[in-house]
Amino acid sequence: MTVITSVEDLRILAKRRVPRMFYDYADSGAWTESTYRNNETDFGKIKLRQRVAVNMENRTLKSTMIGQEVSMPVAIAPTGLTGMQHADGEILAARAAEKFGIPFTLSTMSICSIEDVAENTSKPFWFQLYMMRDRAFMERLINRAKAAGCSALVVTLDLQILGQRHKDIKNGLSAPPKPTLRNMINLATKPRWCLGMLGTQRRTFRNIAGHVDGIADMSSLSSWTATQFDPALSWDDVQWIKERWGGKMIIKGILDEEDAEMAVRSGADALIVSNHGGRQLDGALSSIEALPRIVRTVGDRIEVHMDGGVRSGQDVLKAVALGARGVYIGRAFLYGLGAMGEAGVTKTLSLIRNEMDITMALCGLRDVQNVDRKILVPGTWNEGSSVTSR
């Protein structure tokens, strides 16, 4: 493939180059994958109003997210195992985001550590935190993010227990991959990926390995991780995190208006409307369908962001029109990373920026901060009634 014109082109290339278990990890959802699919297809139902004979000169996509200037209202979402899509993947994606002037968010379950990314970038990035049972480790992790100069903490609340991820179970997902016959045969068809991994020491969860007492090998690390996500997570724990962090905080995983209200009360600076990419509760609302309800309920009191199903600049613009101050891309950048490394992430961001710019112009606007529901065709999006009883 010599000409790449869409994120879909990058997905196809990534599928050829990334080992099956890691490609499936990125490109799959929970159970029947209905929410995963709806995240993407529900964007397609929303139609745009084309305008003509308007001034389209001097356009700008510049905006802010939690007070931070961004070149476009887009951030790279936290994704686990990013460094298994491509060697040193988190570092490469962070560099691409830095050059573009948008936030990069590092996952707790990353392959490259907080320190790895900090040592290989020059600007602050965001760190995503999962609440785990080991509170001493949580405190150390928060302190490490502070020491690295992270400018925001993204607290994910929708992974107290793991969703039904059938492909990951069937593939025997692990990092690094276990030396089974099936895996060895698959890896033999991915020479580019294998050469990259031979050239790095970053092949496991480096935010955890070496930072937890009693973890001596991959077996003990896997066992520890499997028992650490906290099913008793509560809003009191969010307050505990906020007090220890002391900086900008974003709550991720909100789909319900009552939870949005709780996010406001927590004192967070922003919330992310998200269903974890369709990888948790299958049958939940798509993120873009839930977004207008959340904006209507709390949008005047907290900054509302969203993720899920974003594959183009048009998707970003539709989310902004429905009230999102920031839009996160996960799979879109992972496809670019798996396909072409840092150059692929840069290509993803270039595609999204160009699609946003052209679409905004054809809708008759020159400044992304003026984008609102007036660019959408009435009746093609549904604000809906509250999903809770009041």
* Contact predicate 281/35, CB 8 Å: yes
Q: What is the bridge-based pairing of β-strands 63-65 and 152-156?
A: unpaired
Q: Is 292 annotated as a binding residue?
A: no
* Contact predicate 371/329, CB 8 Å: no
* Contact predicate 83/112, CB 8 Å: yes
Which residues of 131-254 form beta strands (DSSP E)? Answer: 152-156, 249-254
Q: Is 234 annotated as a binding residue?
A: no
Q: Is 338 annotated as a binding residue?
A: no
**Among this protein's residues, is 166 annotated catalytic?**
no
321-324 CB contacts, 8 Å cutoff, 24+ apart: 321/371, 321/372, 321/373, 321/374, 321/375, 321/376, 322/288, 322/291, 322/292, 322/295, 322/373, 322/376, 322/381, 323/291, 323/292, 323/295, 323/296, 323/299, 324/73, 324/273, 324/291, 324/295
Q: What is the DSSP string of 267-326?
A: T-SEEEE--GGGTSSTTSPPHHHHHHHHHHHHTTTSEEEEESS--SHHHHHHHHHTT-SE
Q: Is 311 annotated as a binding residue?
A: yes
Q: Which 3 state secondary structure label does DSSP give 222?
A: helix
Q: Is 276 annotated as a binding residue?
A: yes
In sequence order, what are the beta bridge partners of 69?
64
Q: Is 59 annotated as a binding residue?
A: no
Q: Is 328 annotated as a binding residue?
A: no
Which residues of 183-225 form beta strands (DSSP E)? Answer: none
Q: Is 196 annotated as a binding residue?
A: no
Q: Is 128 annotated as a binding residue?
A: yes
Q: Is 80 annotated as a binding residue?
A: yes
Query: Distance between CA atoms of 343 and 17, rounded to whole angstroms?
Result: 15
Q: Is 25 annotated as a binding residue?
A: yes
Q: Is 130 annotated as a binding residue?
A: yes
The one-letter code for the residue type at 352 is I
First to last CA, the chain: 54
Q: Is 274 annotated as a binding residue?
A: yes
b/e 25-41 (16+ beta carbons within 10 angstroms → b): bbbbbbbebebbebbbe
Choosing from 86, 166, 276, 305, the catalytic residue is: 276
Q: Is 134 annotated as a binding residue?
A: no
Query: Distance between CA atoms of 153 and 270, rounded to whole angstroms?
Result: 10
Q: Is 309 annotated as a binding residue?
A: yes
Cis bond upstream, residue 176 (ω within 30): yes
- CA neighbor of 305 nearest in space, from 156, 159, 107, 145: 156
Residue 272 φ then ψ, to 5°: -115, 115
Q: Is 124 annotated as a binding residue?
A: no
- CA neighbor of 360 nearest in space, from 38, 40, 63, 14: 63
Residue list, annotated binding site for glyoxylate: 25, 165, 276, 279
Give the catalytic positions in this structure: 276
Residue list, annotated binding site for FMN: 78-80, 107, 128, 130, 156, 252, 274, 307-311, 330-331
Residue list, annotated binding site: 25, 78-80, 107, 128, 130, 156, 165, 252, 274, 276, 279, 307-311, 330-331
